[in-house]
Structure formats: C-alpha cells, structure tokens
C-alpha cells in the first residue's frame, strides 16, 4: 500500500523545521537549492545524499550545475509528499550541520 | 581567451561519432539521456563522470531521477559548444564501452 500523503498543514509543519526547503511550485513535492564552494564540494555532498537515498530506498530528483545542487523530493508511489520525503530532507540537512 | 565555438558543421561531424548525443533543442549545447539498471548503477556512472569533469575542469549540467541521467554539455565561457564539450562527451562514452 502506498505511504499516506501528508496534508498541507502537515507539510507546512515539517517545512518549519527544514531551513530553506519549500513546496515545489509546479508539483506536489518539496525542494531546496544548495550552493557550495565549488564542484568538488557539490559532488561530495551529492555522494553523501546518494548513500542516504539508497539506504532509505527513496531517491531524489536532482540536478547539478557546477557548485549548485537542486533537490526535489516527492513520493512517486503515493503521488505527493509523504513522511519519507521529510525523513530524507531531514537526513540531508543533518549532513550540513 | 574563450575557446573557439564549433561551427554547426563541426558539431554535426562530432555528433556523428557520439552515439545518442544530439544538439540541445533550446540552447547551444549537446545532450544525451542515459538509462541504467537502477540508482546504484546510475550514480556510479555519475561518480565516474564527475571525476572526468573535474580533471578536465569542464563540468556538465546534469540531472538524475532514479535510473536516468540526463547530461547537457556547453562551454559557458564561450557561449556554446566547443572542442571541450566533444572531449568530455567522448570520455563519457568511453566509460560505457
């Protein structure tokens, strides 16, 4: 059974604890843009996120241009934002502290 | 001095030797979409490309969704496609053979 979608209020509450994350403007997802010192730092971050994602079996939609990494999280099976997205976003933030 | 832009004919000639690469539809760039067995294979490929890119000091614009990796190459300093993009595309293809 697909994981339950979060309500709008639940998403807002989760985002309150996730600095820089916001609701995606075009689809039911959350996203954040990260900027690093250079490509090595940006791709190093991506490598850490990739390991977290594979471990959770929950993978981002993401893009990279030099020192910028844009990450969008959504739960495809559920058709929107679930607790899994909040978990991955929280783990990603923990990488940066 | 920025590297010289390739002419349209030169780009076509280069693409003839780069299976699956094409001119980008929206901007002066070349691109290719790669599909792998799963995320581990896709990100493993990205890691190899990242090392090539850093070594060339020429970085892709790219995105990943699970097992798909889309790569766009352009030379920002020159405002279009140069021999550097062809070199990186050729090195990326060599990873897959």
Predicted confidence band at B57 (pLDDT cuts at 50, 70, 90)? very high
**What is the mean predicted confidence (pLDDT) over A31-52?**
98
- Rounded-to-integer distance, Cα A34 and Cα A13, Å: 21
Q: Is the Cβ pair B63, A59 closer than 8 Å?
A: no
B1 — pLDDT class (breaks 50, 70, 90): confident
- Residue B20 has a pLDDT of 97
Q: Give the ipTM.
A: 0.95
Q: Which residues of B touch A50 (CB under 8 A)?
A: 39, 43
Model's pTM, two decimal places?
A: 0.96
- Which residues of A make CB contacts under 8 Å with B? 39-40, 43, 46-47, 50, 53-54, 59-66
């Amino acid at each position: 059974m697909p994981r339950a979608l979060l309500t709008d209020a639940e998403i807002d509450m989760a985002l309150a604890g996730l600095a820089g994350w916001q609701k995606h403007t075009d689809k039911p997802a959350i996203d954040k843009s990260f900027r690093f010192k250079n490509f090595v730092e940006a791709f190093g971050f991506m490598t850490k996120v990739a390991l977290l994602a594979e471990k959770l079996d929950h993978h981002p939609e993401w893009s990279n241009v030099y020192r910028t990494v844009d990450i969008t999280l959504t739960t495809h099976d559920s058709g929107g934002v679930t607790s899994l997205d909040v978990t991955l976003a929280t783990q990603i933030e923990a990488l940066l502290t």
